[in-house]
Structure formats: C-alpha cells, structure tokens
Structure 1
Amino acid sequence: MDYPSRAAFDPSSCKSLYVGNLHPYVNEAMLQEIFATLGPVAEVKVIKDKVTGMSAGYGFIKFLDHRAADLALQSINGRVLYGQEVRVNWAFQKDQREDTATHSHVFVGDLSSEVTDRLLFEAFQPTGGCSDARVMWDHSTGRSKGYGFVSFRSREEAENAIQAVNGSFIGHRRVRCGWAQHKADANASDITSVDRSDPSNANVYVGNIAPEVSDAELRRHFQQFGNILEVKSYRKGSYGFVQFEQHVEAVHAIVGMNGQVVGGKPLKCSWGRHQTSRGPGGIAGPGAGQVSHSQVMMQLANMSLLGGPQPGLLNPHHPFNNMMQVPQAPLAHSQAGQLSQHNQLSHMMGPGSAALGNIGYAPLGYASMGLGHGQQLGPGLQHQP
C-alpha cells in the first residue's frame, strides 16, 4: 500500500487512512466490511506485531477516491468498536520521511488558510537543507491554526531560511519566521536547548489546568497533534496527563501547547512519567511525576500519521447520525470461535446495524442478518423495536 510522503502530503487528494486503537478482535475482513459502506475500498491492511503475530492495534485503509476517504475519516473517527474508540486520520509514507530528531526547527507564523504541508515545504526548499514541514491544524474546525514548523539539517541552514523567507509571501499572506520555541506564538529568539527524552514515552503532563476545563476540552485542544489514547485530569491538583499513541505526537503537543491559554490560564506542558503498561485507571494517576520541561526534545521523528484536519463532525444527512452507539463487552475467545465472521460483527453492533457494530449503520439492517425484533444480537444485548 503506497502513501504520499510527508513533504508531498496534500489532504485534498489523499485516499489512504490510518486506523488506530483497534481491538485485537478487529481484523482486515471486519475493516473491509465497515469502511466499504462509505465508498469503494482498494486495500485494507492490519499491521501485525513482529513478535506475537497478533494485531498491533492499527492498520491502513486505501480508498479508490478521496471523497470516500474523507467521508470515512469524518464518520468513523471516534466511533466505538468492541468497546474501543477507533482513531482515524490521513496516512502518509513513513519510510520516505527523514528523521529530524537532531535537526534545527523554525517557527512560521501568519500562514494563510490554503497553505498545506507541501506548500510550506516548497516555500523553504530553495533555501537549502529543508528536511520537513508541518502546518498545525485546529481539530474542532478542520482549519489551519495559521502557523507551522519547518526543519533543517543544520542550524546555519535554518538561520539562512529565517533571513530569506521572513516577511515574504507564502500563499496570500506575508509570514513571520523565527526559531521554534515551546510556545508557538512567541516572539522569535534563540531556540531552546533541550535534552532527548525516552523515545518510547508518549505521555504528556499538563499543569495549571483551570477548574472549569474538562477532559473533553483538553482532548479537543491536544488532538490536533495526533492520536490520543487517553486524557485524565485531577481537579484537586489542577493537573493531568494526555497519553498519545506515538512519541513524536507528544513532542509536538508539548511544543505547541506549553504556555497556551485554556480556560483563562496558561498551560504548563512537559513529559509525564513513561507508562510501560496501562491497567485499570488508564494513564498516570495522582502522584505520577512529570519530567522537567527542559528535558523535552523538539524532534520531528518518523511517524505514520498526519496531525491534520479532523473535523470530527458527521455529515448531518448521513445515516450514521441517526444510529445509537451502545458500548459492548468483547466476546470471550471461546464464544468468538463459535461465531461466523458476520455474526461476530453483529455482536459489536447497536440497534439498526448489521455491519458496523457500534458505528451503527448497514444498508440492509436486521434483514441482512435474518434477525427479527427482540432477538438476541449478542451476550446481554437485545434489539428493542
């Protein structure tokens, strides 16, 4: 399955999606059946763990056209499948992207709304040494936040780029350039020297949280940077944690959100304690320490996910909007082995759906399953007419 490179990425033409936070029971056949309801699917791939051979919890979907892929992103992202919220985003080719962990980084502000990663990269490429470009997006609106970051292989090349591009037009507006800091809208100054953190840590500590700021609001602010596995705040201590799926997503979140005002108070973002496993209660609980903000490494490492626009709002006329989402317990392995592929899908679903489980829509409804009103759909779930 081929994906565009990060530098060449343009969400207006992309046909491939990343699908994360998948339950181990979710396989390629299930994903094929789910996503095919939204448009013609060319290829489905669930990534396997190299050691266990089991699902690694994520995969990729390639559609035949962009429109279907865009509809799938908006419709399925955040839906519940086997009790887990599915994360959907645009996919791009990881292997074609250069590791920028040791590179120098430039902040670019006042970007016009039409500027994409590709356009930003092309604007800086002539200055030499440009290795990556990324525009920040507002998840709630699906629009550019008006700033981004560009990476260079050396500090000298980054300095030359600042002098060459600062004040020039990219798109329809003059941009301002400076050294990247831990607050995206700060005035240009020398880049902060930071140390490398544990490359497997994706847990962000968030301090100085206003009392009225909910976990849902924190998620809305942070989800522009990548796939969030969990958000947990502790009101008595005015702090919390945001657990991302990938380390590089947490890096961007710390850099982009530290000092940003939410609920009238500037957030203090740094590394949370690395969680090697997530048991009951989720990510770090009260008393989990955070690493000093000076230990944050502004690294833009290889990643297979664009932190781009995810409007998160369904088409008001799409049938998904009229379906219920009923959380379901996963089947026991002994039960799963007794069910056909199609009946396993029926176990996941809420009322009105034969194919999408908790996602909640299938053109043929219960008729496609041969089920009448009031019949059992799975353990503990009964359709109510």
Structure 2
Amino acid sequence: MNSATLYVGDLHPDVSESMLFSKFSTAGSVESVCVRREGITKRSLGYAYVTFSEPADAKQAMSTMNHETMHGRPIRIMWAQGTTTDREDANVFIKNLDKSIDKQVLYDVFSPIGDILSCKIVEDRQGSKGYGYVNFDTEEAAKQAIEKVNGMVLKGKKVNVEKFIPQRERLAMMGDRPKKNNNVYIKNFGHEYDDDKLKLEMEKFGKVISAKVMTDHQNISRGFGFVCFEDPEAAEKCIDNIMGSELNGKILYASPAQKRSERRDELREKFERSMREGVNGNKGVNLYVKNLDSRIDDERLRQEFSEFGTITSVKVMGDGVKSKGFGFVCFSSPKEATKALTEMNGRIVLDRPLYVAHAQRKEERRANLASQRITTMRQQQSAQYSQMFQPGLSGAGCFVTQLPQAARGFFTPTQMQAIPRWQTVVRQPTPWREAAMFDDASPTKQRQMLGNRLFPRINDMYPELACKLTEMLLQIDKSELLYILESPEALGDEVENAVSWLNKRNQSEQH
C-alpha cells in the first residue's frame, strides 16, 4: 500500500465502491476504491481501500471523515499498511468500559498520548460490548497508554488497558489444552419449558448456575434456550444425554453454546463448503419439498422418501415451534434424487399434494428466473410497453432526466431537473420493440428500461418517494433486478427495506 491509501472499516454490507468514491472525492482526487469481498459469494467483508492521488488529500479525508456515518454505521478510517506486525505492536486492548463510552470518548482519552491510527468500540445490536481497541502509530505510544490509563476510572468504572495479543498467539498459548465450555444450547423443545422448568430438568446432570428459555415479544417460548453449568463436565454430560433424545415426539438438539461471531464463522464456512461442493459436481442430489402438512417432521419426511435411495440428510424448516411447510431431502446420488422427484412430485401426503423440485441456491434461482424473463420478453414481440414518467403520475418535485423528445419516458439518475405537477394526461401505450433489444442495449439503455418497469409499481406503493426509491433500486445487480420485477413479494421487500433506510437516515440527520 502506498502512503496515499486509506483503510476504511466497519462498513455496512450494502456500501459499494461507487458510494465510497462519491464520498471520498469531496476530499480530493481518488484514484481507486476497492471493497474487499468473499471469494465465492462476493459479499462485502466490511472494509475497503481508498487510494488518493495525493497523500495530503488522504490525510485530509482521514481527519475530517473518520467516524462519519454511511448506511447508518460510523466508518473507521486509518492508514493502510502492507503488514500487520507493526500495527499489532502498537495496539492496546481496553476492557470494562461503561456502555455509554463511544469511539469519540475513547479517542479523546488516548489522543493526548500519541497519534492514533484507529480507534474502535466493539458493538452488537444492543450497543457497546464494553471493550475496544486503540491503535497508535508507534509501540512506544502504546506502552505509555498502558502506563497512564490502566486503572483509570472512566464513567464510574475502573478500566483495564493491556497490550493487544493477536488470536494466533492466544491460541498458541493455550497449546493442546481443550477448550472447556460450561454453556449448553438446547433447541426443539417447543413450549414445554420455561426458565424454572428447564433449570430443574437440567440439574440432574450437575449444578446449574442459570437457565434461560428464549421468548418472543409476547413472552411465548421460541423453542430453544441456554443452560450454564458450574462444571464443564456437567455440560458435556448434558449434551451427551439430551442430543437426539425425544420430548413429546420431538427430537431434541444440544451443543456447546457459541458466541455469535463463532456461530457466524461456522455457518459461513458451511455455506462456502456447500458452494464449493456444488461447483465440484454434487449438484442434483438435493430436493426442495413444499406444501408439507404441519404434522410432518424430519423423521416422517425421511420415511416418505426412503424408498428411492440412500438419504444423507433431511430437514423440515421451522422456528423451533412449528413447521414452515417446506424442507429439503438430500440423496447420495443424482439418480436417486431424480427418481424421487419424478415419483413424489404431486403425491398426496396427509391430504396435501407435495411439490418437489431440485433445490437451488438463491443466486441460481434468481439467475434462472431472470433468464426465463428474458426469454419471455423475446417471445412477446408485440408487447405493449407504457411510458414511465407520465405527467399524471408525477408527484410534486419529482426528478426526471432532461432528454430529447424522442427519448422522453426513459429513466436515468443523471442531469435531473424538477418538473411541476401536471394535470392528468393519458398517453396511448406505445408498442415496444422486440425484447431482444434489451440484451443488445447499452448498460445505460438497459437501466432506462428497468427504470420504466420499476417506477409505476413503486408509485402505487409510495407515490411521494417513487422517484427516489426507483433510483435506489436501480443500484441492484441487473439479473437480480429482473427477478425482483417478476416477484411482487421480492419487490415489496426491497421497497420496504429502502423506505426503512431512508427513514433511519432522516432521523439521524434530524439529530
């Protein structure tokens, strides 16, 4: 990394390169922006690198934009480094922080000691988790910070400041010692337990410190909970006995409780592994089954499909209390899965006809729907295509492009001007050319066509925000947008998400 490159962290997953480019260009000439993404899913990893033409512009951006909000999250800016060794030596870990202490307060406490490259409070959905990190530019400044601030009382609490130890070193210090876990996660017990009953039931395995059944906003059990034992051996005994046991016809699940970050990493690894397996030729073995009766559980679903071959896994999707009406059956070979699909699709089980199809990842499903949409468009050569920004539909202050008369009616976010409220004028629908022109059109023209399709639908839902919401949804990938246009539910979800984001932004600006 050169001296004009900034690391921008704590990014919302929806923050894109173009958004960062627009924001940081106000500080100077930006040469490049790179949001780091996962190799397979292409999802944002939550950080990016922004390179300026001049180091002075990068310094200006870091001093004026650090901790500013993007998509509702404060961003964290520091100088990009080629290696992490120097940063780790100059990094301190602070714990026992009062929940009211934010990054700015932490910065104000430590900044008199030395130049700070990065300052972070670790948070979850409830706010601060009570600890954070400060990264200085030199190891000497970090040592002084430990000497001066360790034991200091901040907001009524004595804080602990120590040298940051990377995870790889902490694991090495543990050596081969197994990680002991006193906490157990138990699920699939429905409404059978409350806190007291769960604790009483688990005490047969050892002394229980606490037991908690998770509930919804109406204080109804969500079918899972956590038990904390005094002795790790009691937790292991609980897992061995509870896992796979039956309670009122339901198979219980028990495992060591995990931190949210650990669970997220494990799920991500499973997801990426399944993606790799799909790419490497294990396609066609997994079936999607829907329209299931609520009485069908994993075991009943396995029984229904067992005659067609070896089943490697089966799962009825639910919330721990009741079935969602669909599930998945995975066979050992594509031939077995195909036979089961042929025989079971439409079969009546508990008075309901089953729908069975090959399971698809969300990306594949959306791509297929988009492909079907393109094919349908090509077949409808004489399809009628109405113009988008009809004067009668435009709200006051709606923005449209100033285009030549022949091109009027297409949407684009550039060169906008306000138009007044017009009286309703009904235009005759104009025949659209062969839909094959969509494939042949330039990206700009495709964007205009998609905008024309989006606007009238959004206008029906939020007339006053139709222009803004259309512009926001046009940031979505083209193939995904084609899928959304074919699914009213998906379009509704995307619009509601966009409205929610606008409301949050407006609230933050008012404060």
TM-score (norm 1): 0.36
> Which has the greater radius of gyration?
2
Q: Which has the higher contact order (CA 8 A, sep 6+)?
A: 1
TM-score (norm 2): 0.29
